[in-house]
Structure 1
Amino acid sequence: MSFLARIPGALAPLAAALALFVSLPASAAPSKAQVAIDALAERMRTAESDYRSALVSIANADPEGQVKADRAIEDMEDAINACMKQRGCSVSTMLATYKRLLKLGADDAGAEEDFEADAGLDEPGQLASDVPEAARAAALLSGPRHRFDQIVEHNPAVQEGIRRWLTDMRGALITSYENYQYMRHLMWPQYERADLPEALLFGIMAKESNGRVHATSRAGAAGPLQFMYATGRRFGLGDDGTGFDTRYDPRAAAEANVAYLNERLGQLNGSIEMSLAAYNGGEGRAQRVFNGSGGRSFWDETVYNQFPAETRDYVPMVIAAAWLFLHPREYGLSLPRVRPKPAPLRLEQPASIYQLTICMGNRGVREGYMRALRNLNPRYQADSWLPAGTVLNATTGMVGLYHRWCTQGRRAELARMLVLSDPKRAIVRTGPVTPVRDGEVPQASTGAAAVTQAPSATKAEETRDYTVQGGETLFSIARKFQCSVPQLASANGISGPRYAIRPGQRLRLAGCKG
């Protein structure tokens, strides 16, 4: 009986294939190099499939989508690196796949790319979903005698404002745009319901605060739209009973701003310019000037000169910023692409906004995420220690970066170390210093003096034990008990750079003073 005859029927095809393979000459079998290349190609295909699946999750606002995309990107990068070291492997093929996938919408760190505004941002069709049409906004922004586009085209004061925004203040304008995009879902609906143009909201915010919700002025104005305390109280802003001033809340500030402008528009014959003058220079003054002039335009000399220099600067600067918001392409202005899709971020361990800013990094985002996190969470100070379980307002990209970089690993530990570092620990106390005259050589302490100091040093080095609590790190324990992290790690056999410890672990507090 042959070998194949003794194999059960279900396994016969497999056995036949095996026998055929064994009978092939050695030269026909795949080489080790080819096997490695095929494995890398399969790894690349798997990563590509995972990446496409992750994009679907991101589109559905699944916070895990960015995590999956990051993981797939890492797999692709590892495969490419291995391919570069493998003889005969086609790196160019893998790079083509990698670049093609990145163009689909998610990158290797949730990075946000710049894009050219001349791709059509100021075309009405493009603006329909995000920005009011230019014609509609111009009508709403017009005073009793001027249409908005005519003001921009022919009014030298507004033209000067555009020049300033595009030269010395270009950085401030772009920063304002970035900050606004993160808060847009909180602020724009208030304007939309009142049928006011989004460009006006952006112009006021850019001039008042550059989109920083915690901005305050020497005069006492506060928040992204800079309400004075008394004016804010009139429109529902102020202490909410918890000690938080809602002037700093972007949603509440936008709602109050709409109410204020509607009141001014009703009293100032619908003039946006005069309403802006009231917002900056005081509503009482604006009403008196308006009534005394018989309702003339803000640009009329008899009206214009009755406002202080600050207000005469404020009105055209707001209008200029609003116009650039609507017409970036016309002026060669490239605005950054921001991915502001809101998502909740639940802290898995205690952290501060400072710590999150460090561990999230700033790949593709010029200034990182601290301002966005602060703007979306105005109740928290940047250095406030937030307990595990705290839910922060964030974006899908931030959530992905948090899970990738902030919960474990070297960067997470470095971020904790930096926010827990105490500069006082850099100062070493070595005892009294004996003044030395010129020409004298200081003598080392010997004898009784040295013996006298020994007991105190021994007392400082007394060791105790401590049980690690949940959420603690070696850095936080070192800071709590005034220890050196390396000394504490050495005394307990803990290796860096992560200095990993676990709840319930007993530590010897060697060299600790607290």
Structure 2
Amino acid sequence: MSRSVSFRSLRLAPLAAAFVLLGACASQVTKPTPTPPTVKGLYSQLDQASQGYETALQQARADDTAASEKTLTTALDQLRDAAAQCGNTPGCDPQRFFSVFDHLLRLKDGSFIGDELPDEQDSESPSGQVAGLNGAASLPQARRSVTLLHGQKLSELIAMNGPVKAALEMWLTQWRPNLMDAYVNYQYLRHEMWPQYKKADLPEALLFGIMAKESGGKVNAVSRSGAAGPLQFMYATGLRFGLGTVNGFDTRFDPTDAARANAAYINEQLKAFNDNLELTLGAYNGGEGRMRRLVGSDTSISFYNPRIYDQLSQETRDYVPSVLAAAWLFLHPDSYNLRFPRVDGVPGTITLKRPASLSELTVCLGEAGGMQDGWFRTLRNLNPRLDPQQELAAGTVLQVPRLLEKPYAVRCVVGPWPILASDLHNAVVPVVPVRHDPPRMSRATHYRVRPGDTISSIAHRHGCTNLREIERMNRIHHFQIRVGQVIRLPACRR
């Protein structure tokens, strides 16, 4: 977008102000009907918003971050007001407003750094500070880490094209509850996941975007295809990056390990695709082998080029813009009429004073801390190695948000709530025998788990549909199996 600014409206401003004052004096008795905005007037406001961009840019480079933020906010508000009237004004082009709006947002997250100085190169010092540019130095470290991907400006890598805009609308409408849940879940997991991305020099917004699309922040999520964990690794892919079964626990479900492996995978693919983020995300979802065959040696090709885009599955075509849109909203919620809830995700621990399961703790904690949906998901996410239904011995140390340490001591040690929770948890439900059709059944069998197997894939291979029955027969928790394990399979239909 051209940054030349029209000053015609600024020269006419004093004259316009004089007419406004005269009009005010003459309207003591009768208020005039507001004059509908003209295209010229709206475009004048557009020019003023552009001037606000230039001013904010200079203020940032003068290390006056507070003034820069204030100027930018004013410009965005002015732009929104004018854009709202553009749709009802004949001859007004809304796309002109969107282009400036998009540009202002990119300034807001720090992507203006170096835009005006093409001869200077950003460089990383050993301490992680960006050297050579006052604008960069004035930004908080957290802001830079959010927006930079291997020295590139993340917001410049996210093109506001049709697919991304459509994904933005989905996140703001039909997927909005999922987005909010993902944000809350992530805030409680952030202390485990974000450091892994930070070490890998990857932006936090990208981590959130992938997690929001993959699992919504549900650590124990398992897909139909067998992908598992908060970032949905297939078993074989996870093995390549250090994920596997340790003491019977599938480390794909560990938030720290999963984030580390995901960061390693993303960096591997960024290197293969010359830092092309869209192709990298396409590889993560659709398979790097397929993506590399489609791309060939031309890593500069656009993900949306028909030679690539048309050959991908609909899932992958949707996946890439959805991740980028979620990352964009993570950076700019206010600019899309979106307000993420405030979450106190500071980690803490509790030591059980009496035996209890995670389910029982959820009951006795209730809505402590204002969590209307209860704490079951958070407790599971922070303690993925534990069966939420299994009673834990007194003295067990649990990972919890720090804000739950006091409510636990007040509600879950003595009093009526732990007694009620225990009574509900130990309720006996009658078991109705499952009737089978003998003529259509095969004998129960045993199976040795191989690399890449999941309960669902084994069940499908043997014609079984009742995964819970397999879990019960083998005393398996959360469908977690290990390579070499021999499991019993029920008599399944062929």
* Secondary structure of the corresponding residue to residue 262 of structure 2: helix
Aligned length: 298
Q: How does 1:327-342 map to 2 (within 5 A)?
A: 327-342=332-347
**For 1:148, which of 132, 153, 157 is the aligned residue?**
157
The question of whether the paired residues in 1 share the 8 Å contact of 2:164 and 2:321 is answered with: yes
Give the Cα–Cα distance (whole angstroms) in 2 for the partners of residues 163 and 255 of structure 1: 31
The equivalent residue for 1:266 is 271
117, 140, 148: which one aligns with 1:136: 148
Deviation at 1:316, TM superposition (A): 0.2
Pick aligned residue for 2:327 from 313, 322, 332 = 322
The amino acid across from 1:159 in the alignment is: K
Deviations 1:447-492 (A, max 9, x none): xxxxxxxxxxxxxxxxxxxxxxxxxxxxxxxxxxxxxxxxxxxxxx
Contact in 2 for aligned 1:138/1:147 (Cα 8 Å):
no
- Equivalent position of 1:191 in the other structure: 197
Question: Which residue is equivalent to 1:157?
Answer: 163
CA gap of 1:131–1:251, structure 2 versus 1, over 3 A, is farther
Instruction: Quote the offset at 1:171 in angstroms.
Output: 0.3
Classify 1:135/1:252 alpha carbon distance in 2 versus 1 (closer, same or farther; 3 Å). closer
2:374 corresponds in structure 1 to 368
Please give the alpha-carbon distance, in whole angstroms, between the structure 2 residues aligned to 1:138 and 1:284: 23
RMSD between superposed Cα atoms in Å: 2.4
Q: Which amino acid aligns with 2:178?
A: A
- 1:349 positional shift: 0.8
- Paired amino acid for 1:370: F
Provide the secondary structure at the position in 1 that maps to 2:182.
helix
Per the TM alignment, residue 410 of structure 1 is displaced from its structure 2 partner at its CA by 1.3
Q: Residue by residue, what CA displacement relative to the aligned partner does 1:379-437 show, whole Å, maximum 9, x if unpaired?
A: 01210111111101112111111111001111221111111111339xxxxxxxxxxxx
Q: Relative contact order, CA 8 A, sep 6+: which one is greater?
A: 1
Q: Which amino acid aligns with 1:217?
A: S
- Listed one character per residue, the Cα deviations across residues 285-318 of structure 1 (whole Å, up to 9, x for unaligned) are 0111111656411121211112111100000000
Runs of 4+ in structure 1 over 3 Å off: 122-142, 292-295
Which has the larger displacement, 124-133 or 320-329?
A: 124-133
Give the SS at the match of 1:202: helix
- 2:227 is aligned to 221
Counterpart amino acid of 1:227?
Answer: F
Residue equivalent to 1:94: none
Retained in 1: the 8 A contact 2:349–2:398? Answer: yes
Q: d(CA) in 1 for partners of 2:220 and 2:200?
A: 25
Q: Write the distance in 1 (CA, Å) between the matches of 2:426 and 2:139.
A: 46
Aligned position for 2:258: 253
Change in CA separation of 1:188 and 1:131 when aligned onto 2, cut-off 3 Å: farther
Q: Counterpart of 1:42?
A: none
* Stretches of structure 1 lacking an aligned partner (at least 5 in a row): 1-121, 426-514
**Structure 2 residue matching 1:350: 3-state secondary structure:** coil
Please give the secondary structure, in 2, of the residue aligned with 1:280: helix
Distance 1:315 1:138 in 2: 19
Does structure 1 retain, via aligned residues, the 8 Å contact 2:146–2:205? no
Q: Measure the CA separation in 2 of the matches of 1:360 and 1:205.
A: 27
| Partner AA of 1:168 in structure 2 | Q
Contact 2:145/2:202 (<8 A) preserved: no
Local SS of the residue matching 1:147: helix
Q: Comparing 299-308 with 171-180, which one deviates more in the overlay?
A: 299-308
User: Where do residues 234-313 of structure 1 align in structure 2 (5 Å cutoff)?
Assistant: 234-240=240-246, 242-291=247-296, 293=298, 295-313=300-318
Structure 1 range deviating more: 127-136 or 390-399: 127-136
Q: 1:366 to 1:375 in 2, by over 3 A?
A: same
1:45-444 aligned at under 5 Å gives the runs 128=140, 132=144, 136=148, 140=152, 147-148=156-157, 151-152=159-160, 155-240=161-246, 242-291=247-296, 293=298, 295-363=300-368, 364-424=370-430
Q: 1:402 to 1:127 in 2, by over 3 A?
A: farther
- Residue 372 to residue 135, structure 1, CA distance change in 2 (3 Å): closer
The TM-score with structure 1 as length reference comes to: 0.55
Q: Is the 8 A contact 1:268 1:275 kept in 2?
A: yes
**How many angstroms does 1:367 deviate by?**
1.1
- State the partner residue of 2:472: none
One-letter amino acid matched to 2:359: Y
| Alpha-carbon spacing, 1:201–1:147, altered in 2? closer, same or farther (3 Å) | same
Task: Give the partner amino acid of 1:406.
Answer: C
Q: Secondary structure at the match of 2:227?
A: coil
In 2, distance between residues paired with 1:368 and 1:130?
Answer: 30
The answer to whether the Cα contact below 8 Å between 2:354 and 2:394 also exists between their aligned partners in 1 is yes
Query: Percentage identity across aligned positions?
Result: 48
Go from structure 1 to structure 2 and tell me whether the alpha carbon gap of 1:133 and 1:331 turns closer, same or farther (over 3 Å shift): farther
Q: CA deviation at 1:130?
A: 5.1
Q: Which moved more, 1:342-351 or 1:246-255?
A: 342-351
Counterparts of 1:322 and 1:424 in 2: how far apart (Å)?
Answer: 47
Instruction: Label 1:126 to 1:423 Cα distance change in 2 as closer, same or farther (>3 A).
Output: farther
Asked whether the 8 Å contact 1:209–1:215 carries over to 2, the reply is: yes
Question: Do the aligned partners of 1:140 and 1:197 also contact (CA within 8 Å) in 2?
Answer: no
Unpaired segments ≥5 residues, structure 2: 1-107, 111-136, 432-494
SS in structure 2 opposite 1:393? strand
Separation of aligned partners in 2, 1:127 and 1:199: 17
Amino acid at match of 1:381: D
After superposition, the Cα gap between the structure-2 partners of 1:131 and 1:173, relative to the gap in structure 1 and judged at 3 Å, is farther
In 2, the alpha carbon distance for the partners of 1:386 and 1:126 equals 49
Give runs of aligned pairs for residues 457-472 of structure 1, distance below 5 A.
Answer: none
SS at match of 2:430: helix
Q: Distance in 2 between matches of 1:126 and 1:410?
A: 54
The answer as to whether partners of 1:161 and 1:320 remain within 8 angstroms in 2 is yes
Q: Structure 1's 356 and 260: CA in aligned 2 closer, same or farther, altered over 3 A?
A: same
Q: 1:22-59: CA deviations, max 9, x gaps? A: xxxxxxxxxxxxxxxxxxxxxxxxxxxxxxxxxxxxxx
Deviations 1:108-163 (A, max 9, x none): xxxxxxxxxxxxxx776999465546753696465xxx9235x13xx010000000
